[in-house]
């Protein structure tokens, strides 16, 4: 079976920095060429979706200029070493199983945003790009951002969907809420967001339904029982699509899979990344996750004590829709390996897991498969 790229647009900002869990024997093969993001414009691009009579937009994983400027403005007069110390302590809390409760002050919130907002923005954007690729006609007007923190997913959704007009955000953390409101103050589009403080389940019970509901890097902060209740509440408030993004760890994947299963039982359909609504075909220790490369600003490098000018964020996600999904392309589950004789790729297909090999002698197919990237939709 030959798989062709589902859409050339979907790979525009996709990266291939390292290998996913690829359990074939061809893993030592030559790597793909270096990532393309560095060479690409860092602004939103409009790419035509040739041959489908549609045009859809893919969004850059790098923070939009307005948000960067707002963060830079907040940074003035703020010690980078103090921010680095706070960011390190917040990261340690996360690694030790704690949550955003460690973010208490304005300085904590800013340190968190400097360290993590670029990566979470990139992961949400990559997930939204995958959704847009599958559903190019989706034009939500209303957004509900659950556990919105500094407003990361709202910024990403606003970039991905010019159609969005109403933005409702909820979070328990006052420091992050205050920062989010500061960051949107000079934004023409987001100045009018409605950001309320409140516990997600209580807040959702009284929230209006929205076309697009997003929970980004949030459900891992609550207990399993709370996650089950929250999943159902978020779904009840979803008019069209629910997107949940988590860290690309086995634990993050497990949370996504549990929510996915629960909501499919309630009638949801998977738009991305899965090409089916059945059980996930992956077996432990394998897990479904993706990676997105993003540029690091000087401040970002300083706060993270990092040398490299880029970062690779690993994430897991699911986009669930109310209506059945018309297009179900297969998904590339790890960076394909390229050898002198063939390209080997691990795919999730509508029929299950497939380890496909494209021999070099099949010239046209080989050339097409060379462009595959981890996370691509191919059909
Ligand atoms: C890791 S942060 C992610 C923030 C934001 N969604 C992002 O992607 O940058 C998790 C957020 O979830 C919020 N949160 C955790 N439990 C919550 C709850 N029960 N109700 C509302 N918000 C909650 C935290 O306050 C924090 O802002």
Q: Is residue 220 in some structural domain?
A: yes
Q: How high is the pLDDT of residue 3?
A: 55
Q: Is residue 309 in some structural domain?
A: yes
The verdict on the CB of residue 10 being under 6 Å from ligand 1 is no
Mutate which of 155, 172, 292, 317 to test ligand 1's pocket (most atoms within 8 Å of Cβ)?
172
Verify that 139 and 30 share a domain, yes or no.
no
Verify that 291 and 371 share a domain, yes or no.
no
Give the distance (Å) from ligand 1 centre to CA of residue 146: 7
The verdict on the CB of residue 147 being under 6 Å from ligand 1 is yes
Q: Is residue 80 in some structural domain?
A: yes
Tens-digit pLDDT profile for residues 115-159: 899 999 999 999 999 999 999 999 999 999 999 999 999 999 999
The verdict on the CB of residue 218 being under 6 Å from ligand 1 is yes
The verdict on the CB of residue 122 being under 6 Å from ligand 1 is no
CA dihedral 144, 149, 150, 155 (to 10 degrees): -30
Do residues 275 and 330 touch, judged by C-beta distance below 8 A?
A: yes
Verify that 127 and 234 share a domain, yes or no.
yes
Q: Is residue 59 in some structural domain?
A: no
Least confident window among 17-21, 45-49, 65-69, 74-78: 45-49
Verify that 165 and 204 share a domain, yes or no.
yes
Distance (Å, whole) CA 207 – CA 81: 40
Give the distance (Å) from ligand 1 centre to CA of residue 179: 13
Verify that 84 and 179 share a domain, yes or no.
yes
Measured from the Cα of 230, ligand 1's closest atom is 19
163: Cβ–Cβ under 8 A, 6 or more apart, which residues?
A: 139, 140, 141
Alpha carbons within 13 A on the beta-carbon side of 170 = 19
**Smallest CA separation from ligand 1 atom 15, residue:** 221
Tens-digit pLDDT profile for residues 290-331: 999 998 888 888 877 888 888 999 999 999 999 999 989 999
**Smallest CA separation from ligand 1 atom 16, residue:** 221
Q: Which of 321, 343, 362 is the last residue of a domain?
A: 321
**Smallest CA separation from ligand 1 atom 14, residue:** 147
Do the bridges between strand 342-349 and strand 337-338 make them parallel or antiparallel, or are there none, so unpaired? Answer: antiparallel
- CB burial of 264-282 (b: ≥16 within 10 Å; e: otherwise) equals beeebbbbbbbbbbeebbb
Question: Number of folded domains in the chain?
Answer: 2
Q: How high is the pLDDT of residue 65?
A: 95
Q: Is residue 89 in some structural domain?
A: yes
Give the distance (Å) from ligand 1 centre to CA of residue 153: 11
The verdict on the CB of residue 120 being under 6 Å from ligand 1 is yes
The verdict on the CB of residue 199 being under 6 Å from ligand 1 is yes
Do residues 130 and 377 touch, judged by C-beta distance below 8 A?
A: yes
Q: Which of 274, 302, 321 is the last residue of a domain?
A: 321
Q: How high is the pLDDT of residue 297?
A: 82
Tens-digit pLDDT profile for residues 149-201: 999 999 999 999 999 999 999 999 999 999 999 999 999 999 999 999 999 99
Verify that 191 and 130 share a domain, yes or no.
yes
pTM for the complete prediction?
0.88
Verify that 85 and 138 share a domain, yes or no.
yes
Verify that 34 and 164 share a domain, yes or no.
no
Verify that 6 and 124 share a domain, yes or no.
no
Verify that 121 and 209 share a domain, yes or no.
yes
Q: Is residue 12 in some structural domain?
A: yes
Give the distance (Å) from ligand 1 centre to CA of residue 100: 7
The verdict on the CB of residue 176 being under 6 Å from ligand 1 is yes
Q: Is residue 267 in some structural domain?
A: yes
Give the distance (Å) from ligand 1 centre to CA of residue 238: 19
Give the distance (Å) from ligand 1 centre to CA of residue 218: 5
- The closest alpha carbon to 164, from 213, 205, 109, belongs to 213
Mutate which of 87, 173, 195, 220 to test ligand 1's pocket (most atoms within 8 Å of Cβ)?
173
The verdict on the CB of residue 216 being under 6 Å from ligand 1 is yes
Q: For position 95, which CATH number holds?
A: 3.40.50.150
Measured from the Cα of 148, ligand 1's closest atom is 6
Distance (Å, whole) CA 168 – CA 234: 13
Q: How high is the pLDDT of residue 80?
A: 82
Do residues 200 and 230 touch, judged by C-beta distance below 8 A?
A: yes
Alpha carbons within 13 A on the beta-carbon side of 318 = 27
Q: What 3 state SS string does the chain have?
A: CCCCECCHHHHCCCCCCCCCCCCCCCCCCECCCCCCHHHCCCCCEEEEECCCCEEEEECCCCCCHHHHHHHHHHHCCCCHHHHHHHHHHHHHHHHCCCCHHHCCCHHHHHHHHHHHHHHHHHHHHHHHHHHHHHCCCCCCCEEEEECCCCCHHHHHHHHHCCCCCEEEEEECCHHHHHHHHHHHCCCCCCCCCEEEECCHHHHHHHCCCEEEEEEECCHHHCCHHHHHHHHHHHHHCEEEEEEEEEECCHHHHHHHHHHHHHHHHCCCEEEECCCCCCCCCCCCCCCCCEEEEEECCHHHHHHHCCCCCEEEEEEEEEEEECCCCCCCCEEECCCCEECCCEEEEEEEECCEEEEEEEECCCHHHHHHHCCCCCCCEEC
Verify that 246 and 126 share a domain, yes or no.
yes
Neighbours of 311 (CB within 10 A): 18
162: left (phi over 0), alpha (psi -120 to 50) or beta: alpha
Domain that holds residue 90: 65-321
Q: Is residue 56 in some structural domain?
A: no
Verify that 136 and 37 share a domain, yes or no.
no
């Amino acid at each position: 079976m030959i798989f062709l790229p589902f859409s050339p647009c979907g790979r525009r900002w996709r990266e291939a920095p390292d290998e996913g869990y690829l359990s074939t024997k061809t893993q030592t093969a030559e790597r793909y060429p270096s990532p393309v993001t560095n060479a690409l414009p860092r602004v939103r691009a409009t790419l035509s979706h040739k041959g489908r009579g549609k045009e859809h937009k893919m969004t850059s994983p790098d923070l939009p200029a307005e948000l960067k400027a707002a963060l830079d403005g907040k940074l003035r007069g703020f010690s980078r070493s103090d921010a680095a110390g706070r960011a390190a302590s917040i990261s340690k809390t996360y690694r030790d199983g704690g949550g955003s409760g460690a973010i208490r002050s304005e300085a904590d919130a800013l340190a968190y945003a400097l360290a993590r907002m670029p990566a979470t923005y990139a992961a949400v954007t990559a997930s939204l790009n995958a959704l847009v690729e599958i559903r190019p006609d989706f034009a939500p007007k209303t957004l509900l951002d659950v556990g919105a923190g500094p407003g990361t997913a709202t910024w990403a959704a606003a970039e991905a969907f010019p159609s969005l007009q109403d933005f409702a955000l909820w979070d328990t953390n006052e420091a992050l809420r205050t920062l989010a409101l500061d960051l949107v103050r000079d934004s023409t589009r987001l100045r009018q967001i409605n950001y309320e403080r409140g516990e997600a389940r209580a807040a959702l019970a009284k929230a209006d339904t929205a076309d697009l509901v997003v929970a980004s890097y949030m459900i891992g902060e609550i207990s399993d029982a709370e996650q089950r209740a929250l999943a159902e509440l978020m779904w009840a408030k979803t008019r069209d699509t629910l997107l949940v993004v988590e860290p690309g760890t086995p634990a993050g994947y497990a949370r996504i899979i549990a929510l996915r299963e629960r909501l499919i039982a309630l009638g949801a359909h998977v738009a991305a990344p899965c090409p089916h609504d059945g059980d996930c075909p992956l077996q432990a220790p394998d897990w479904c996750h993706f990676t997105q490369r993003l540029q690091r600003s000087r401040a970002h490098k300083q706060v993270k004590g990092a040398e490299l000018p880029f970062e690779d964020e690993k994430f897991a996600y699911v986009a669930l829709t109310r209506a059945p999904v018309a297009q179900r392309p297969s998904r590339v589950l790890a960076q394909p390996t390229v050898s002198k004789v063939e390209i080997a790729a691990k795919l999730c297909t509508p029929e299950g897991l497939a380890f496909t090999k494209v021999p070099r002698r099949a010239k046209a197919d080989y050339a097409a498969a060379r462009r595959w990237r981890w996370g691509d939709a191919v059909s």
